[in-house]
Structure 1
Amino acid sequence: MKLQSKNTFALILIACGALILFGKLGPVLGWFVSLLVPIALIGFGYLGIRNGKKLIGGVLLFFGAIILIGRLTPLIGWVVAILLIAYGISVLTKKKSY
């Protein structure tokens, strides 16, 4: 199958529709699929930079990173909270030797 512009456009439409449907399938699968878009943007940005299209690649990489950080903010909050609790417990249980 030779990829022409019409075929490429059809494949992009199919992929977008599939992503929308995956987003509606549930909280766990929907959240996972919502991570795929920024990861894909980061990947395409990297490929763009590697192939010499630094402006477009940099823009895709930047937006992908910003979106991914926004999606992972709740997870980052949980990790920081757990680390603070663990550090506090280690400070309380540390034996003083003086």
Structure 2
Amino acid sequence: MNGKKALGVLLVVVGAIVVLNFIGVHFGSIFWFFFPFILIGLGVVGWKNDKKWIGGILAAIGVLMLVSKFSSIIFLAIAIALIVLGVSKIRNGSNRGY
């Protein structure tokens, strides 16, 4: 795709988003949810095209944003793992007849 076609596609997409926003359809929350995935994808593309610094930086920023978005789920999983580990330690400790 040459530069003029890419610019045309970009203008059509931006214009469609503005029209939909005027009508009342908002894409802000959807865009900010997928933005870390977009950064990770751009980082992978940069890494494959021998731009390892830029690709690594973009992927790292995307991963950090993704971890911050899913931090509550990650902490819930850690809490459940700690509870399971504690219960297993209690059960193994009480079976021994010292």
For the residues of structure 2 that align with 1:60 and 1:73, how far apart are their CA atoms? 20
Q: Tell me which stretches of 4 or more aligned residues in structure 1 moved more than 4 Å.
A: none
Task: Name the CA distance, whole Å, in 1 between partners of 2:87 and 2:63.
Answer: 34
Partners of 1:55 and 1:11 lie apart in 2 by 32
What amino acid sits opposite 2:96 in the alignment?
Answer: K
Please give the secondary structure, in 1, of the residue aligned with 2:60. Answer: helix
After superposition, give the CA deviation of every residue in 1:58-91 in whole Å (9 maximum; x if it has no partner). Answer: 2211211111111121111100110111111111
Equivalenced residue count is: 86
Give the structure with higher Rg (CA).
2
Matched with 1:21 is 27
Query: Structure 2 length normalisation: TM-score?
Result: 0.67
Match status 1:68 vs 2:66: yes
Other-structure match for 1:89: 87
Change (3 A) 1:84 1:7: same
Distance 1:66 1:60 in 2: 10
CA shift in 2, pair 1:65/1:10, >3 Å: same
Matches of 1:65 and 1:72, distance apart in 2:
10
Q: Which consecutive unaligned segments of at least 5 residues does structure 2 have?
A: 21-25
Residues 15-47 of structure 1 deviation map (CA, whole Å, 9 limit, x = unaligned): 9x48x5272xxxxxx6xx71x221121111011
Q: Structure 1 length as normaliser, TM-score?
A: 0.67
Counting aligned pairs with the same residue, the percent is 28
Q: 1:49 to 1:96 in 2, by over 3 A?
A: same
**Kindly tell me: are residues 97 and 43 of structure 1, through their superposed partners in 2, closer, same or farther at Cα, counting changes over 3 Å?**
farther
